[in-house]
C-alpha cells in the first residue's frame, strides 16, 4: 500500500519539478523581452535568467538590434510620382514597453516618407542626388525627434538610392 503512495508521490514530484524547470527562461545578450502577467504588460526582461510564474506569466522575446528597410518607396506629390527612394535604418530597442506598445516600424516609415515629401515640396527634385546629405540629415533629425516616444536609439540611417522619376508630358 505504501509502495503505491511513494510511487505516486515520486511521479507527481518529478512531473512538477520538470514543469517548474521549464518556467526558467534564458534571454541571450542579443535579445530583450517583455513579461506579461495575465496577458497584460508586467515588466521588461533584460538578458539573463528569469523565472516565470507558472500559469500566470508569459515571455515575449525580440531582437534588440533592428533594421527597417524601405525599398524603392515611391514619393508622390499631388498624385504624381516624383521620387524613388531606398534606405536602411539601423536602430536599437532601449525601452521595451514603449517599443512594444507602438508599431515603431510603421510610424518610422510614415514619418520618413512625410519628411521626404516636405523636402521635395520645398526644394524640388531637380538636384536631389546632390542634396543627399541634406536629405539624410533631415531624415535623421525626424527620427531623433521621436526616439524617446518609440523607446529606441538610432544607430545609422543610410540612403541607398535616391532617384528622380521623370515627368511624362503628352
DSSP three-state, residue 37 = strand
Domain with CATH 3.30.479.30 in the chain: 65-164
pLDDT at 101: 59
Supply the DSSP symbol for 144.
H
List CB contacts of 165: < 8 A, sequence separation 6 or more. 74, 81, 82, 83, 84, 125
Please give the grid coordinates belonging to residue 115.
519628411
pTM of the predicted protein model? 0.68
| Summary count for the chain: helices (H), strands (E) | 5, 8
Q: How does pLDDT run across 67-115, given as a tens digit for each residue?
A: 889 998 888 888 888 888 899 999 988 877 667 656 788 888 999 999 9
Least confident window among 44-48, 85-89, 143-147: 44-48
Q: CATH code for 65-164? A: 3.30.479.30
Amino acid at each position: 500500500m505504501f509502495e503505491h503512495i511513494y510511487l505516486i508521490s515520486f511521479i507527481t514530484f518529478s512531473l512538477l519539478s520538470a514543469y517548474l524547470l521549464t518556467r526558467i527562461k534564458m534571454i541571450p545578450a542579443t535579445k530583450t523581452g517583455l513579461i506579461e502577467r495575465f496577458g497584460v504588460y508586467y515588466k521588461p526582461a533584460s538578458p539573463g535568467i528569469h523565472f516565470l510564474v507558472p500559469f500566470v506569466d508569459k515571455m515575449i522575446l525580440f531582437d534588440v538590434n533592428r533594421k527597417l528597410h524601405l525599398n524603392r518607396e515611391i514619393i508622390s506629390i499631388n498624385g504624381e510620382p516624383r521620387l524613388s527612394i531606398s534606405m536602411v535604418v539601423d536602430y536599437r530597442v532601449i525601452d521595451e514597453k514603449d517599443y512594444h506598445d507602438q508599431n515603431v516600424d510603421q510610424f518610422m516609415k510614415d514619418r520618413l516618407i512625410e519628411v521626404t515629401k516636405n523636402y521635395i515640396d520645398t526644394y524640388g527634385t531637380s538636384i536631389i542626388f546632390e542634396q543627399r546629405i541634406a536629405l539624410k540629415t533631415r531624415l535623421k533629425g525626424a527620427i531623433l525627434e521621436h526616439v524617446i516616444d518609440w523607446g529606441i536609439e538610432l544607430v545609422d540611417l543610410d540612403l541607398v538610392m535616391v532617384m528622380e522619376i521623370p515627368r511624362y508630358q503628352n
